[in-house]
Chains A and B, each alone.
Chain A
Amino acid sequence: MGHQYKAIQWNGNKIVYDLYVLASTGMFITIFMITGLATQPGGHPADPVILFIRALGVTAFALLTVILTIGPLARLSPRFLPMLYNRRHLGVTMFIVASAHFGLALFWYHAGGPLNPLVSLFVSNPQYDSIPGFPFESLGFVAFLIIFVMAATSHDFWLNNLSAPVWKALHMLVYPAYALLVMHIVLGALMTEKSMLYPIMTGGAFLFVSGLHLYAGFGEWRADNGMKSLKAKGWIDVCAPLDIPDMRAVIAPLPKGDRVAVFRYGGKISAVTNACRHQNGPLGEGRVIDGCITCPWHGWQYRPSDGISPPPFTEKIATYNVKIESGRVFVDPKPNPPGTRTNPALIDMEGASL
């Protein structure tokens, strides 16, 4: 939480996860190199340096593809939430691999001439009006710049200083970066590849990522449409008390496109906004841990009754008044100011109000 800035919030799980990521990345590059050297694509011995440049590029693209699938997968199934929790480290790993690809390619192809390598990258091939001969390196460079900005602002320091909406908007640039990388590959490697393996893998990865985002987004869009049909007046009938799993929540639509997370913990029910203060994560998909609502994305916590983070943290989220009548949970659609204490609704064993 944002009480103070820490370098990295390490814990045992993150270290194990990072070791897996590093081992998998290293193994992927190694297998790519061994396979490339053994198969001699094009019928002639592969240049090890060029093969290594390509191995780094393929690895970075594969990592970015995995990164971009984590968000929608976590929307579709909570099984993927641990990947979301560790996504930022995966992003930094991808940036390091992409930096190696960029640096080595720049040195190998553009450092030997009289021009500045960065200038050479843009002017050595002036065929900007040709598709087969397009200087695909320029697309990769723009994508790399975006990824660089994202990596540089990945720390919570920047999230707090830029505010969550601005930070999120900035980091959504990863999508155009991914599109640029696809075109970087299509206009670069795929122009010289006779094997269908590369086009199928590149196209398949892009279609898979796009399909997942559209599928998950369509679900959100349908939920938003359901909200619009609600009337603003009166309390919202959410569900029966025992329809809410213990220590978990039911997310209910509210008028004007808002959403409320209605939590059951023990014999109590409280309602808070569904948006976490950190990165607007879906609080209603989290759990009550140690008496606090815990965001499934990065573990930020809030007390259910007043929406305030436990000491020493000071974050606050909006709460909603809640009541149980006739065996149903009702929520007042008007949010209370962040941090407002509310009285939890009490339930008996049969699920009726006490």
Chain B
Amino acid sequence: MKRPHRRIHFLFWIVIAPITALVGYFSWQMRPATPFTELPPGIETISDASTDTSESR
């Protein structure tokens, strides 16, 4: 009897690992030079008020 999924398991890592590594690396390269958590307080306040997205960072 064969052990199921053995080849699928291997193929999965061959496909998913390089894709995730490349996408992750290039996404990280596109990070802002100055993280908005470190923006001056005034700008951070404006950003919070207008988009309401920065708190979740």
Contact = CB atoms under 8 A, between A and B. Distances in A.
* Same complex origin of A and B: yes
Interface of A: 42-43, 105, 109-110, 124-125, 127, 131-135, 137, 164-165, 168-169, 172, 175-176, 179, 182-183, 186-188, 190-194, 199, 203, 206-207, 210, 213-214, 217-218, 220-221, 224, 256-259, 273-275, 280, 282, 317-318, 335
A273 B1 contact: yes
Contact of A124 (B5, B19, B53): B53
A224 B6 contact: yes
Contacts of A187: 27
B32 interface: yes
A213 B17 contact: yes
B4 A137 contact: no
Nearest to A217: B10
B40 to A, nearest CB: 12
Contacts of B5: 165, 168-169, 172, 280
A202 B31 CA distance: 16
Given A183-B27, A191-B31, A191-B32, A280 B4 contact: yes
Interface in B10-49: 10, 12-14, 16-17, 19-21, 23-25, 27-28, 30-32, 35-38
Q: By DSSP majority rule, is chain B's interface helix, strand, loop, or mixed?
A: helix
Interface residues of B, number: 36
Nearest to A220: B6
Contact of B28 (A186, A194, A273): A186
A221 B7 CA distance: 7
B2 A275 contact: yes
Contacts, number: 117
A227 to B, nearest CB: 10
Nearest to A130: B30
B1 A125 contact: no
B43 to A, nearest CB: 15
Nearest to B51: A125
A218 B10 contact: yes
B36 A192 contact: yes
A206 B24 contact: yes
B19 to A, nearest CB: 8
B20 A318 contact: no
Contact of A168 (B4, B10, B13, B35): B4
A134 B53 CA distance: 10
Among all A-B residue pairs, the 10 with the closest Cβ atoms: A217-B10, A210-B17, A192-B35, A125-B53, A179-B20, A213-B13, A273-B1, A280-B3, A109-B56, A275-B1
A26 to B, nearest CB: 27
Contacts of A165: 4-5
Contacts of A43: 38
A190 B37 contact: no
19 contacts: A124-B56, A125-B51, A125-B56, A134-B27, A137-B56, A168-B5, A172-B5, A172-B8, A179-B19, A179-B20, A183-B20, A183-B23, A183-B24, A199-B28, A206-B24, A210-B13, A213-B17, A224-B6, A282-B3
Given A176-B16, A186-B24, A192-B35, A274 B3 contact: yes
Contacts of B9: 172, 213, 217
